[in-house]
Structure 1
Amino acid sequence: MKMLTNIVLLFLASLLAMCSSAEKSQQASHNKSYPHVELSKELVRTAKEQQDASEIMDKLAAVSAEELSAELDTDEAKKAFWINVYNGSVQHILMKQPELFEDRGAFFKKDQVRIAGEIISLDKIEHGIIRGSKIKWLLGLVSDPFADKYERTFRTDSADGRIHFALNCGAKSCPYIAIYNAPYMNEQLDEIARQFLNRTSTYEPDEEKVFVTSLFSWFRGDFGGKSGIRDFLRKYDVIPEEADPSLSFQDYDWTLELGNYTDLSAGKTAAK
């Protein structure tokens, strides 16, 4: 009996130590300085307020890859920085040249965003970096074995389906734009996912069918396939826990529509 008591006490002590370590790690993340994430937030803010961002873009272009890589030392920091850069760049570019959106394929493939000394495309930011080197047209099922050094330096460790509800490519059906902050990234991605899915999904219990965004279909591998999609819908209260409806993917409206922003409560003070 005494041995069992000692084992339980050791287990509890170990658990408390783990919790303390996690809290310290989280606190360290909240206290860490992210100067270039702050610049990426300014890129979005200036787009929202239709202000010039040339000085911000110059600073993002001039930072060394080594310095930026050292700052973006977690997937949360990477996602915050690169989602802000993607959204802010799309808005700034298309506000000046909306005609570029007429050939969307060329627009996203074009090398036009300079970060850390390299001019890269929006496709590279989304699929190569934020999605962890996923091949664009293969449903999130296949990774790119030929990713270059720049992409390998900055890419996330794995694809996170929630990012698809945070990236705005300029189309009417795109998710709304928020400003992301590294220490609150998980909470913010949960919040934006809930916002988007509850706004765009329709559950029909009588038909056992749920109508959802085409993003689920195009990037199904990032969500774990159809069963993973249903898990997402359950997590964000689109369908009940016990439901197993068929999925109906809605048409995507590619009409150019800029200026769609939203606020997030998670990390609200830090996001300003």
Structure 2
Amino acid sequence: MKKVFTILLSLGLLSAQGQDLNQFYKQVDSFLGKYTKDGRVSYDKINKSLKDVEPIYKQIGEMNLSNASDNEKIAFYINAYNMIVIYQVAKYYPLKSALDQSGFFDKVKHKVAGEMITLNALEIIKLLRNYKDPKFHFVLACAAKGCPKLASYAYYPDKLQEQIDARTKTALNDSRFIRVNDNSNKVNVSMIFKWYIKDFTQNGQSVISFINTYKTNKIPDNYQLDYYPYDWSLNM
């Protein structure tokens, strides 16, 4: 009897956690649909309506992931990262850049699923180190124009890979993000590819071969690779 009760309790916990996560994804989806468009975020409007983002920020801290699947965790962490960035910029707006707030990424800690953690740790430890997918770099928003465009929707576990692949293709086919110059046989790419070069050169591939995996018009292998300066001004 005790064993049956334990199983039922466990199933109830799983169901409650699933409901909480689904509600979280829907809240993020609604919020992004309201305050973001074509990669731009209305930080000024959010600053005047912090009540729209504060409950989501609080929910990020209280979420229980103990029985979540990998896809549920990945979707949660991506959405959590993006919402924390937006919340933190909006809270201290007006800012010209996220870097105007000391320790924005590497010092300020936030409660994420019961754990106090920085944005850098959330990105590197919870996502990149655990799941080793360089495409995360194209779905995480850093509140900067130099970052790949933020999606105007939340990430969901049941369509996670489809969404991540779509955002990767969008970024790598954006001529402002990947700047190919056929006259000089050069390609200028974001500093993201330099900062995280190990992520993009796994299994012996080059940065260009990684980009070509998702780029419609392939970059010739003999083109010279260079990096343009990162634009940290707000994506608004």
TM-score, with normalisation over the residues of structure 2?
0.72
Task: Kindly indicate whether the alpha-carbon contact (under 8 Å) linking 1:87 and 1:168 is maintained by their aligned counterparts in 2.
Answer: yes
Task: Kindly indicate whether the alpha-carbon contact (under 8 Å) linking 1:43 and 1:84 is maintained by their aligned counterparts in 2.
Answer: yes
Partner of 1:210: 187
AA matched with 2:133: D
How many pairs are equivalent?
198
Distance in structure 2 (CA, Å) of the matches to 1:104 and 1:244: 41
In the alignment, does 2:69 pair up with 1:91?
Answer: no
Per the TM alignment, residue 203 of structure 1 is displaced from its structure 2 partner at its CA by 2.1
Percent identical pairs in the alignment equals 28
Cα distance, 1:111–1:193 mapped onto 2, change above 3 Å: same
Distance in structure 1 (CA, Å) of the matches to 2:89 and 2:164: 25
Task: Kindly indicate whether the alpha-carbon contact (under 8 Å) linking 2:57 and 2:84 is maintained by their aligned counterparts in 1.
Answer: no
Residue 67 of structure 2, aligned match among 70, 73, 77: 70
The unaligned stretches of length 5 or more in structure 1 are 1-31, 133-155, 259-272
Cα distance, 1:34–1:227 mapped onto 2, change above 3 Å: farther
Distance in structure 1 (CA, Å) of the matches to 2:222 and 2:141: 29
Residue 173 of structure 1, aligned match among 146, 151, 162: 146
TM-score, with normalisation over the residues of structure 1?
0.64
Per the TM alignment, residue 231 of structure 1 is displaced from its structure 2 partner at its CA by 1.7
Distance in structure 2 (CA, Å) of the matches to 1:88 and 1:255: 18
What's the C-alpha RMSD, in Å, of the aligned pairs?
A: 2.7
Per the TM alignment, residue 114 of structure 1 is displaced from its structure 2 partner at its CA by 1.4
Distance in structure 2 (CA, Å) of the matches to 1:60 and 1:42: 11
Per the TM alignment, residue 252 of structure 1 is displaced from its structure 2 partner at its CA by 0.6
Partner of 1:42: 27
Cα distance, 1:218–1:230 mapped onto 2, change above 3 Å: same
Q: Give the secondary structure class of the aligned counterpart of 1:70.
A: coil
Identify the structure with bigger relative contact order (alpha carbons < 8 Å, sequence gap 6+).
2
**Radius of gyration: which is bigger?**
1
Superimposed CA distance per residue, residues 20-44 of structure 1 (whole angstroms, 9 cap, x where no aligned partner): xxxxxxxxxxxx9463254145236
Partner of 1:118: 115
Distance in structure 2 (CA, Å) of the matches to 1:160 and 1:252: 22
Distance in structure 1 (CA, Å) of the matches to 2:102 and 2:128: 18
Task: Kindly indicate whether the alpha-carbon contact (under 8 Å) linking 2:138 and 2:167 is maintained by their aligned counterparts in 1.
Answer: yes
The unaligned stretches of length 5 or more in structure 2 are 1-16, 36-45
Per the TM alignment, residue 206 of structure 1 is displaced from its structure 2 partner at its CA by 4.0
Distance in structure 2 (CA, Å) of the matches to 1:84 and 1:41: 11
Superimposed CA distance per residue, residues 212-264 of structure 1 (whole angstroms, 9 cap, x where no aligned partner): 11111110100116843122221122553764322111111111234xxxxxx
In the alignment, does 2:169 pair up with 1:191?
Answer: no
AA matched with 2:56: I
